[in-house]
Amino acid sequence: MSEQILEAVRGFVSEMDRSTTSRELDESLPLLDHGVLDSLSIYRLVTFLESRFGIQVLDEDLVPDNFVTLSSITQYVERRVASTP
């Protein structure tokens, strides 16, 4: 499941940021620090995650640690999927 989540997130992020290709988006690349994500794109990403994976991203979960890399986003989604009834 984590590989599917990772690839879905990688594809979505690369579509939002036309300056990078999905191959350039390493799992550990700091997305915020490299300008791949900003506040508007995080909102769009949250909307995508909720729709694609049937989760609810809680306000208290909107912290940089959950969205700093593709890996951290994948781990966050896995936790939310596991806790969703």
Q: Residue 21: which domain range?
A: 2-83
Widest CA span of the chain, in angstroms?
38
- Structure confidence by residue, pLDDT tens digits, 32-42: 998 889 989 99
Q: Can you give the pLDDT at residue 23?
A: 60
Residue with tokens 């939002």: 16
- Structure confidence by residue, pLDDT tens digits, 41-54: 999 999 999 999 99
Q: Residue 21: pLDDT above 60?
A: no
Q: How many CB atoms lie within 10 A of CB 43?
A: 11
Q: Residue 17: pLDDT above 80?
A: no
pTM: 0.91
Q: Can you give the pLDDT at residue 16?
A: 86
Q: Which residue has the higher pLDDT, 22 or 35?
A: 35
Phi-psi region of 35 (alpha: psi -120 to 50; beta: other; left: phi over 0): left
Q: What is the CATH number of the domain that holds 74?
A: 1.10.1200.10
Q: How many domains does the chain have?
A: 1
